Amino acid sequence: KVLCATGIIAGLLAFFWKDTFNPESLSGARVLLTGASAGIGEQMAYHYAKFGAEIVLTARREAVLQKVVEKCLTLGAKKIFYIPADMSSPSEPEKVVQFAVQKLGGLDYLVLNHIGVTHFQMWAGDVEYTRWLMQVNFFSYVALATAALPTLEKNKGSLVVVSSLTGKIPTPFTTSYSATKFALDGFFSSLRHELIMQNRNVSVTLCILGLIDTDTALENTRGKVHLTAFPAPEAALAIIRGGATRVQEVFYPWWLQYMCCLWVLFPNDRDQVLRSYYNYSSP
Ligand code: NDP
């Protein structure tokens, strides 16, 4: 009963809570955004453009990045550049940060969002793939953040890390992906403490997303899960608001936060809950 009441009160608070997000704070803000050619990253680029930010976009596909840049210009981006880069290459993160700092004169936001190609399927023993995915989804995030920290600190900036519910709750078909997202949570949540301990004014926002209706996610999960996919533009805005208001964690949709709490509080009921969302009969 206590839990139920707490959940209802928390839900009501979340519903009526007016956060302190001021869109004007993003006008002229200098943003480096990864994974910006498609999906949630592309939608974040459009929001930042509308808010009048100065942006550097990165992903691998140059032609697609060019199209996103063109649309951002029509939406109001103050300044916008792109740099094609493959984050499976360990030398790329530093190059990308240097490019952004040189073009924008510094950074206020580093938004880490890219992911390597993810197979939503059962573990088949491909250790090399896991190593590669760790490089793209985790080590490149660490390298990008490390290269950007001095300029972020100088500008009292923000580090925004896009993670997933599978970085809090392990689910089927996501062995390697889930491992990279748990790694992000461990690294960046620990880093947040260390920055606070050292009075270094850089906020770290970890974003925990549920299923979002991007082309890749819908294609990957088709026929395998019984879950509603939430709209990418809304997810993108939730991430941007969280970064701008310097919160430690963003949950989108918001109620995922309570799902994570229940997950910890009721370990014996976890399997039953998972089975209702996944198709256990035909993997
Ligand atoms: P998409 O697959 O739609 O986009 C991935 C982006 O990463 C693209 O811009 C892609 O561009 C880029 N990318 C892919 N490989 C590389 C690489 N090797 N080096 C550099 N960039 C690369 O992903 P989503 O928009 O669905 O996901 C965005 C974030 O949200 C991810 O961190 C994901 O984990 C998280 N998330 C998504 C959920 C969902 O349901 N969609 C659920 C939970 C979390 P290009 O191909 O041009 O390189």
pLDDT of residue 54: 98
Q: Which whole number is the average pLDDT over 165-177? A: 95
Whole-number Å distance between alpha carbons of 41 and 64:
12
Whole-number Å distance between alpha carbons of 45 and 76:
11
Question: Is residue 4 very low, low, confident or very high in pLDDT (cuts 50, 70, 90)?
Answer: low
For the ranges 12-26, 132-146, 223-237, the maximum mean pLDDT occurs at: 132-146
- Residue 274 Cβ inside 6 Å of ligand 1? The answer reads no
Between 138 and 225, name the one with better pLDDT.
138
Ligand 1: atom nearest CA of 112 is: 32
The token duo for 40 is 């949630």
Whole-number Å distance between alpha carbons of 166 and 169:
5
Question: Is residue 248 very low, low, confident or very high in pLDDT (cuts 50, 70, 90)?
Answer: very high
pLDDT of residue 90: 98
Say what percent of the chain tops pLDDT 90: 83
Residues annotated as catalytic (active site), given as ranges: 177
Q: Which whole number is the average pLDDT over 137-147? A: 99
- Residue 35 Cβ inside 6 Å of ligand 1? The answer reads yes
Signed CA dihedral, 234, 235, 239, 242: sign only? positive
The token duo for 74 is 């029509």
pLDDT of residue 119: 86
Cα-based distances in Å from 82 to 45, 68, 97: 11, 9, 12
Whole-number Å distance between alpha carbons of 148 and 254:
29
Q: Among 29-33, 137-141, 219-223, name the one with the lowest average pLDDT.
A: 219-223
Domain ranges of the chain: 24-277
Q: Give 110 Cα–ligand 1 centroid separation in angstroms.
A: 16
- Residue 88 Cβ inside 6 Å of ligand 1? The answer reads yes
Q: Among 12-21, 85-94, 129-138, name the one with the lowest average pLDDT.
A: 12-21
- Nearest Cα residue to 104 out of 77, 86, 76: 77
Give CATH superfamily name and number for 24-277.
Answer: NAD(P)-binding Rossmann-like Domain (3.40.50.720)
Q: Which whole number is the average pLDDT over 34-44? A: 98
Q: Give 13 Cα–ligand 1 centroid separation in angstroms.
A: 32
Q: Give 16 Cα–ligand 1 centroid separation in angstroms.
A: 32
